[in-house]
Every structure is written in structure tokens, then in C-alpha cells.
Amino acid sequence: MIVGVGIDVVDTARLGERLERTPGLRARVFTEREANLPLRSLAARFAAKEATGKALCTPGDLPWQEAEVHSGEHGEPILEISGAVAARAELLGVTRLHLSLSHDGGIATAIVIAESA
């Protein structure tokens, strides 16, 4: 059963400007594994973090670094959650999170589907 769906869109150039203007933002939002990726990958991951919060029906107060995106064996995006994000998912009965990322023309998008057994 689907518990929630989240989608987010990020303007890559705008995120780049924000990261330059606010030096601590990169470390607050992205994990060590994510932080040094190319800007378009960071934009997709930022969108994924936002979409995760939406799929879990949160008011936007979940810790950014507790939702991490990395690449699987075949390059597929994998969403790994921990801490308060994992606790929220458990509270909702979420047993699986599905993630799709895309970026084109300076825009990155992410869709997250939260599913229960």
C-alpha cells in the first residue's frame, strides 16, 4: 500500500548560487559521500531529500543528512534513511522507499514513493 508520495524540483544554478553564498550549507544538507559530487547530482539529491519529507508527510523538520542518496550496483539511485527520518518512516509503517531522479536543462527532479507491506 502507498503511504505517501513526494516530488520536488530544483533549479541547479540557483542551488549553486545558494551553496556559494552560504558556505556552511553544503555541510548541513549533504553527507560526506554526497558533498563533493557535481552540482547537478547535488541538485537531484537536494530534491530527493525534499521529496522524502513530503512522502513521509512531515512539516519540513527532518534532518537533511538522515536521508542520503547513493548509487547502486547498476547506477540506480538508492535512498538510505537513518535517525529521525527512519523513525518517522517506521511510525507510518513504511517498509520501502522508491526513488527516481532526473536532471535536464538545468532542472533536477526527484520522486519518492513510501510503501508499506
Distance between CA 29 and CA 46 in Å, rounded?
Answer: 8
For the full predicted model, state whether its pTM sits above 0.85: yes
Per domain, the residue ranges of the chain are 2-116
Distance between CA 26 and CA 39 in Å, rounded?
Answer: 11
CA 37 centroid distance within chain: 14
pLDDT tens, residue order, the chain (117 aa): 999 999 999 999 999 999 999 989 999 999 999 999 999 999 999 999 999 999 999 867 789 999 999 999 999 999 999 999 999 999 999 999 999 999 999 999 999 999 998
Q: What angle do CA 61, 39, 115 make, to 5 degrees?
A: 45
Q: DSSP state, 73?
A: T
Distance between CA 77 and CA 53 in Å, rounded?
Answer: 17
Fold of 2-116: Ribosomal Protein L22; Chain A (3.90.470)
